[in-house]
Chains A and B, each alone.
Chain A
Amino acid sequence: MTTIRVKFTKEEDLKYISHLDLMRLFQRAFRRANIPIKYSQGFNPHPKFSLATALPLGVTSDGEYMDIELEKEINTKTFIDDLNSVLPKGIRILKASYVDGKKSLMSLIRWSTYIVEFNIKEDLANDIVENSINSILNKDKILITKTKRKRNKVIERKIDIRKYIKDIMLLIKEGKKIIIKTTLKTGSQGNLKPNVILDLLQEYGNLKIDCDNIKIHRLELFIEHNEKVVTPI
């Protein structure tokens, strides 16, 4: 099995491209770059590659990953250069490395780190902002209701999302502008979207957030290896 793991960015206008459209974009890029990608069997053969996790629409990233199955091994530098030469501005392959592709990348992902930039409606002192962040971190449990549709039934269930929040840090506060860094659970064992943190800051931290100018950027994805949190490559 020849599986290559790739780290890439998704920036600028490309933040408006959905997960499915990104998949199609890569399919075409592989073809244009003559990457010897493996295809599935059957009536509708499709190229074998999978993205680690979907990035929400409107979010930029420096740390996206995918696994690609190849027909034959090629030099990683050539692979990166060839692919970058056909990719649109806003998507760059940063790293590539062969992996043992026994487990799907998707199932390995555990955490994401985000930078979230937003404005508050009225200027507050630094420690008040710190306090409102702590009001979330100091909680043992944060229950939210999730609704799921199953056939015609709506199933409601309460889940504790506190354990999905690893940390929240205030990076910058300049007047009304605030930048925080947060690491949140991501993947099949639990997933928390970064905008939930903003909801919590409003609800528990009493921050009044201007909903119009929120910028979210994913810095990195993490897997757990030998009980340590590490990057996928």
Chain B
Amino acid sequence: MINKKLLDKVLSKVEKPARYIGNEQNSIKKNINEVEVRFAFAFPDTYEVGMSHLGLHILYNLLNKKDDIYCERVFAPWIDMEEQIKKNNIPLYALESKDPIKEFDFIGFTLQYEMSYTNVINMLHLAQIPILSKDRKEEDPFIIAGGPCAYNPEPLADIIDFFIIGEAEELILEILNEYKKWKKEGKTKKAFLEKICKLEGVYVPSFYDVKYNEDNTIKEIVPKKEDYPRKIQKRIIENLDEAFFPEEVIIPYIETVHDRISLEVFRGCTRGCRFCQAGMIYRPVRERSIENLINLARKLVKATGHEEISLSSLSTGDYSKLEELVLKLMDEFKEKRIGLSLPSLRLDSLDISIIEEIQKVRKTGLTFAPEAGTQRLRDVINKGIEEEDLIKSVENAFNLGWSTVKLYFMLGLPTETMEDIEGIKDLAYKVKDLFFDLPKGKRKGNLKITVSTSCFVPKPFTPFQWHPQDSIEAFNKKQKHLKDIIKDRKITYNYHDPELSFLEAVFARGDRRLSKVLIKAWEKGCRFDGWAELFKYQNWMEAFEETGIDPHFYANRKRDYDEVLPWDFIDVGVSKEYLIKENEKAQKGILTRDCRLGCTGCGINQSSIGGVC
């Protein structure tokens, strides 16, 4: 255990010291002499961000249900704490036992966004563990990673010992069982990796060689031995009702980003938006039953006392019995003043009566994500939303007394023209007119429209994975144009930093040569890159320069269909042929229907992964 007195001294010098104390209610303590495996669940961002992540709570409780496994948490210390623990030589420790994580068997990072990669490196360094896999010794823990960014694991190939591709609930227990056996046998770490690389969903990057063409594209990815798998298949949980879901979750002492109960109503999405990685990699759709959800809600309310339940999924309006679920939950919890939130509702699924029901407890703003400014471009991305839908929904909302509306768009989508950009402004102005078209007595509150644009980042396993990202200059120009033409004090225009989105695009579709850029950038002080106040673009550019790597090769280059992509060895169940077909349809603006209305042939139900739609 680290020196508690020293920790106390350190905590008096940092902001939000409760980030580093653990001991929250429903956190789990075990006697380390009674466990066989010690696992550190590592979230490469602050405590407040990490504790809002449902996956953490699922895996933490799943692992701790096993008597012989002790799962603890560790987050990226904020820069003030980093300075303090460095100065006082306190190795990065886990919150539960306060033991240094370098003493653990596993450190498992969850990769939620590309711009947290430097935090992975920084956390290893603060834990006093060598950063590169090849430099780590037999006594060092296994450094593993999973989460959505693990679907293209290559940029972290030199750092992570093995990746978990897909949903981890079953696979992680299989791995830890193998580990217990291996530990008794006293064999080498490599022997363990050779054993588990045969488990479906495990990828050991050091077992593969990547050969390149002269133009720097990949020639082939070859297993170093015959019996290492050529394809890595993602893992899924077939039946969500039988899958583990925690009935008690840790109650943070400090306010987190999503300070509420998160009920996962289903996984997967049938909409098929062509820019959306989650919509492709999380297929097929699997719902939790209403009975199960209500039962979980009851237990979680009792265990936490939270004032809000959020129904989480990729598109909550698509839950087949949403109305019934909402009514039942409201009925049960209204008296306790527990609000419901539905963070990802789509325009066309927005049933205003449901929203009204929800708002009986708490009234919040409305958020719509048309994603693109014109119907043409919305068809290209297969968003499948008609302007009429938006107009109708907003009109309803204004009639019912709302006055705050947020509109989300993306800039730089394939085939976009200035007309599409101006369409964003037109839509915002139409929404404004709808409000003032109401008779004065019907208007409630002060109209506030917020238009936000993000910069499109092409992602692996989407129909747009071959597209170049817009240049930073192009994004700047488009943002400036919108800034110039949106001139209304009722409308606020926000936009993302294109420099950050550019780096996201580099690492989203990067290969293993980028590991050295990550380390170089970290050496130059880059970490918490997702935090605007700490993002150091210039240092990143120096890191590329000094490692001789051209970032534009990854972000702004158009790929051919026959190019070997760095993530091609991973099978997510959705076929490459389908992605090509979708991309071709996109160019022509042809829609693909929601696959609940009839199979669109993505391949998930024919693959060996076991998806049934």
Task: Please give, as numbers and ranges, the residues of chain B lying within 8 Å of A25 by CB-CB distance.
Answer: 253
Of residues 10 through 61 on chain A, the ones whose CB sits less than 8 Å from some CB of chain B are: 13-14, 16-18, 20-21, 24-25, 27-32, 39, 43-45, 47, 57-58
Complex contacts, B361 vs chain A, CB 8 Å: 45
B255: chain A residues at CB < 8 Å are: 20-21, 24
B24 at the A interface (CB under 8 A):
yes
Is the pair A16, B21 in contact by a Cβ cutoff of 8 Å? yes
A13 touches B9 (CB 8 A): no
B476: CB under 8 A from chain A? no
A190 within 8 A of B: no
Q: By the criterion CB–CB under 8 Å, are A17 and B305 in contact?
A: no
Number of A-B contacts (CB under 8 A): 63
Answer yes or no: B329 CB below 8 A from chain A CBs: no
How does the 8 Å CB contact mask read for A87-121 relative to B, with 1 for contact and 0 for none?
01100000000000000000000000000000000
Q: Which residues of B contact A27 (CB under 8 A)?
A: 305, 307
Stretch at the interface among B10-18, B103-111, B126-134, B465-473: B10-18
Beta-carbon contact of A88 and B11 below 8 Å = no
Across the two chains, which residue of chain B brings its CB closest to A42? B363
Q: Is the CB of B12 within 8 A of A58?
A: yes
When the two chains form their complex, are residues B305 and A29 in contact, meaning their CB atoms are under 8 A apart?
yes
Instruction: List which B306-338 residues lie within 8 A (CB) of chain A.
Output: 306-307, 336-338
0/1 per residue, B10-42, Cβ < 8 Å to A? 011000111001011100000000000000000
B251 proximal to A (CB < 8 A)? yes
Interface centre among A21, A24, A27, A29, by most B CB within 10 Å? A24
Point out the residues of chain B lying under 8 angstroms from A58, CB to CB.
Answer: 11-12, 17
Interface: A75 (CB within 8 A): no
| Interface residue count on the A side (C-beta < 8 Å) | 27
Partner pick for B337 among A20, A21, A45, CB 8 A cutoff: A45
With both chains docked as a complex, state the minimum distance between the C-beta of A177 and any C-beta of chain B, in angstroms: 14
- How many residues of chain B are within 8 Å of chain A by beta carbon? 28
Nearest residue, chain A, Cβ from B14: A16
Q: Is B254 an interface residue, CB under 8 A from the partner? A: yes
Main secondary structure on chain B at its contact with chain A?
loop
Alpha-carbon gap, A39 to B496, bound state (A): 39
Residues of chain B with a CB closer than 8 A to A88's CB: 23-25, 253
B307 touches A31 (CB 8 A): yes
Contact A21 B253 (CB under 8 A): yes
- Asked if A78 CB lies within 8 Å of chain B CBs, one says no
Q: How far is the CA of A47 from the CA of B18 in the complex (A)?
A: 24
CA A100 – CA B66 in complex, angstroms?
A: 52
* CB-defined contacts of B307 to chain A, threshold 8 Å: 27-28, 31
Q: Contact: B253 with A17, CB < 8 Å?
A: yes
CA distance A136 to B12 in the complex (A): 27
| CA A49 to CA B547, docked complex, whole Å | 59
In the assembled complex, the Cα of A86 lies from the Cα of B306 at a distance in Å of: 13
A174 on the interface (CB 8 Å rule)? no
Using CB atoms, name the residue of chain A closest to B259: A24
Task: Decide: A44 and B362 in contact? CB cutoff 8 A.
Answer: yes
Instruction: Answer whether residue A127 sits at the interface, using C-beta atoms and an 8 A cutoff.
Output: no
CB A30 to nearest CB in B, in angstroms, measures: 7
Whether the pair A32, B18 counts as a contact (CB closer than 8 A) is no
Q: What residue in chain B is nearest A12 (Cβ atoms)?
A: B23
Residue of B at shortest CB range from A86? Answer: B305
A16's partner among B11, B251, B306, B338 (CB-CB below 8 A) is B11
| Interface check B198, CB cutoff 8 A | no
Q: Are A44 and B363 in contact (CB under 8 A)?
A: yes
Query: Which B residues are in CB contact (< 8 Å) with A30?
Result: 305
B24 contacts A28, C-beta separation under 8 Å: no
Q: Is the CB of B302 within 8 A of A13?
A: no
Report the separation of the CA atoms of residues A39 and B9 in the bound assembly, to the nearest whole angstrom. 40
B253 touching A31, Cβ below 8 Å = no
Contact, CB under 8 Å: A32 / B337 = no
Q: Would you call B344 an interface residue if the criterion is a C-beta within 8 Å of the partner chain's C-beta atoms?
A: no
Query: Considering residues A16, A58, A89, which has the most beta carbons from chain B within 10 angstroms of its beta carbon?
Result: A16
Please tell me if A213 contacts chain B, counting CB pairs below 8 Å: yes
A227 adjacent to chain B (CB < 8 Å):
no
From known contacts A16-B11, A17-B254, A25-B253, infer whether A31 and B305 are also in contact, taking CB-CB under 8 Å: yes
Interface string of B146-173 (1 = CB under 8 A from A): 0000000000000000000000000000
22 contacts between A and B (CB under 8 A): A13-B21, A14-B253, A16-B11, A16-B21, A16-B253, A17-B18, A18-B18, A18-B254, A21-B253, A24-B255, A27-B305, A27-B307, A29-B305, A31-B338, A32-B303, A32-B304, A39-B337, A45-B337, A57-B17, A86-B305, A88-B23, A88-B25
In order of increasing CB-CB distance, the 4 nearest A-B pairs are A28-B305, A32-B305, A31-B305, A16-B17
